[in-house]
Amino acid sequence: MSIDSQADYIGLMRIGRIVGMALKLMREALRPGMTTAELDGIGAAFLQREGARGAPTLVYQFPGATCISVNDEAAHGIPSNRAIQPGDLVNIDVSAELGGYYADTGASVPVLPVTIEAQRLCDKTQIALQRAIDAARAGAKLNAIGRAIQTEAERSGYRLIRELGGHGVGRRIHEDPTVHNYFSGKDRLKLTEGLVITLEPFFTLGKGEIYTAPDGWTLRTTDRKLAAQFEHTVIITKDRPVLVTAV
């Protein structure tokens, strides 16, 4: 969507704060021994208190209020009775709706004791998100975002998961445009002021190939290598984009 009014801005920022806070609470609660279903329950309870509805369930009938992916699970992990183990790398992805507006955010969190490779993977993926934010300006081409992320991946020695990336958001959880995490000459669209998109680089230690697990939802790396993701919903402006989901 594009922001067309003050009501749009207020509505989007409201749900952005809610999903950002849900992610923050879940990150703070994450500990070894708890199940991914328990972690999901913390996010679900907060969304409910705020009057918001988890987008995965609302839109796709996903079996969880949030997506929780562990280690080689790149995205769309189903909350379950799986216990989080020391040293796991846990991705939490929160998206929700309130008043007809959607926002989407996510982060990968290494569980103590943190390995050097997991911490570096997270650090470099988070830097790639910052590079994407820096590139996202009204008047710039959409592919400037992909170029920035790809450059950071190559500089850091990681592979991108090219099948996953950002997208338009706002009135629906997934809208045009697709925001590739790599440079594509076909992405000639220019970013316009008020456009609402997600920026979400996915880095992996492996080849960057994924497949859908037998549960029909979870996306895993084919070589079982760690994957990391960081995500914000942003509003494009002439200068630095507004980070809708920052708290």
The conformation of residue 5, written as its DSSP 8-state character, comes to: S
CA angle 100, 103, 105 (to 5 degrees): 160
Distance CA 54, CA 70 (A): 20
Q: What is the tens place of the pLDDT at every residue in 46-75?
A: 999 999 999 999 999 999 999 999 999 999
Q: What is the tens place of the pLDDT at every residue in 145-181?
A: 999 999 999 999 999 999 999 999 999 999 999 999 9
State the pLDDT at residue 162: 97
Q: What is the tens place of the pLDDT at every residue in 16-51?
A: 999 999 999 999 999 999 999 999 999 999 999 999
State the pLDDT at residue 15: 98
* Whether the Cβ atoms of residue 161 and residue 220 lie closer than 8 Å to each other: no
Strand stretches in the chain, DSSP E: 53-54, 67-70, 73-75, 89-98, 101-110, 159-160, 166-168, 175-179, 196-199, 202-204, 210-212, 219-221, 227-229, 232-235, 242-243
Tell me the pLDDT of the chain averaged across its residues. 97
Q: What is the tens place of the pLDDT at every residue in 93-109?
A: 999 999 999 999 999 99
Q: What is the mean pLDDT of residues 106-132?
A: 97
Distance CA 68, CA 22 (A): 13
Does the predicted model carry a pTM greater than 0.85? yes
Domains parsed from the chain with CATH numbers? 6-243 (3.90.230.10)
186 pLDDT higher than 90: no
Q: 214 exposed, middle or buried (CB, 10 Å; 0-12, 13-18, 19+)?
A: exposed
